[in-house]
Amino acid sequence: SPPAVVSQVTVRDALNQALDEELERDERVFLLGEEVAQYDGAYKISRGLWKKYGDKRVIDTPISEMGFAGIAVGAAMVWLRPVCEFMTFNFSMQAIDQVINSAAKTCYMSAGSIAVPIVFRGPNGASAGVAAQHSQCFAAWYGHCPGLKVVSPWSSEDAKGLLKASIRDDNPVVMLESELLYGVPFEMSEQAQSKEFVIPIGKAKIERQGTHVTLVSHSRPVGHCMEAAAVLSKEGVECEVINLRTIRPMDIETVEASVVKTNHLVTVEGGWPQFGVGAEICARIMEGPAFNYLDAPAVRVTGADVPMPYAKILEDNCIPQVKDIVFAVKKALNI
């Protein structure tokens, strides 16, 4: 058979492709948020979509997150399928009442009679030089809440497959993207670029096979884990790198199977340490069958426990770097 066609696609273009295909596929899908229409999106994710689909499907909103998130949730309750973009997830705090009390709880409180098929999406976590009010990771916050599904893509394939799956899902989904990944190109197979390509929500992906230590991460730090694994490989340490892809529901089985194989665990995330995603993974491993296979305590690599400073050198020291992951692996392996 001929070799599969692989092309380089940025995360931005993969998201744009997903939105375009889903707007075309289902007329109930619409996009709303600040600057998404005439300006082509603050991050150019929705480039060309307003020209193609018009005012009813791609809607510029006033700067009122609580207002437009509420409109979107109401629309979802009557079986439209809104995609609600926050300019950063830090601003979703303005609308957290709508996300949690209106979207997440309604299906349960209506005994399943009212579904809320909505996607809340936008950049999450640290960008560059935007200080504390724009740099927080909300994976642990939203991952804490039953009634939501929470996805956190790394590669272009993740971004496209998870966004399409999220739009088609009948539950409210929070999609946490990374602004720093938007312009990054990743290889995408021909299959991943087809209109029917979706990635099931709740399934992690092993990005690199290894035997000595399991690295578990999501979003941009997956790339740092891959780099750390390449560095450690030269020293004879083979890391298995797991890209979680989904925060809730969490695919703990894939992590357990890997820990049974490697006997060591390091978690990596951009968020704060207390009650974080890594803390949850460590607890699940401790409570489950893989605990007896651990040869050393699990180690967490996280963002610093401070509001993000503005100065670049301080910002760099607050976000997990490759050297921090290498150090954590050596600590776990006692080398």
DSSP tag of 201: T
- Token representation of residue 301: 């690599």
Task: Provide the 3-class DSSP secondary structure of residue 266.
Answer: strand
**Which residues, including other chains, have CB under 8 Å from residue 245's CB and lie 6 or more apart?**
151, 152, 153, 154, 158, 162, 199, 203, 204, 205, 218, 251
Tally of CB atoms within 10 A around 153: 30
Distance CA 69, CA 175 (A): 14
Tokens of 274: 């207390």
Residue type, 84: C
- Beta strands 6-10; 185-189: pairing state: antiparallel
- Whether 65 sits among the annotated catalytic residues: the reply is yes
Query: CB–CB of 201/148 below 8 Å?
Result: no
Do 35 and 60 touch, CB atoms closer than 8 A? yes
Catalytic residue among 85, 134, 224, 264: 134
Token digits for 31?
């996009």
Q: Which helix (H) or strand (E) holds 242?
A: strand 239-243
Cβ contact 143:277 at 8 Å: yes
Return the closest-CA partner of residue 251 out of 275, 225, 218, 229. Answer: 218
One of 34, 65, 179, 315 is an active-site residue; which one?
Answer: 65
Contact between residue 38 and residue 44 where contact means Cβ atoms under 8 Å apart: no
Residue that the structure tokens 């050297």 belong to = 323
Spatial separation of the C-alpha atoms in residues 49 and 70, rounded to whole Å? 23
Phi then psi for residue 195, to 5 deg, are -70, -20
Which of 231, 298, 315, 219 has its CA nearest to residue 262?
298
- Residues catalogued as catalytic: 65, 134
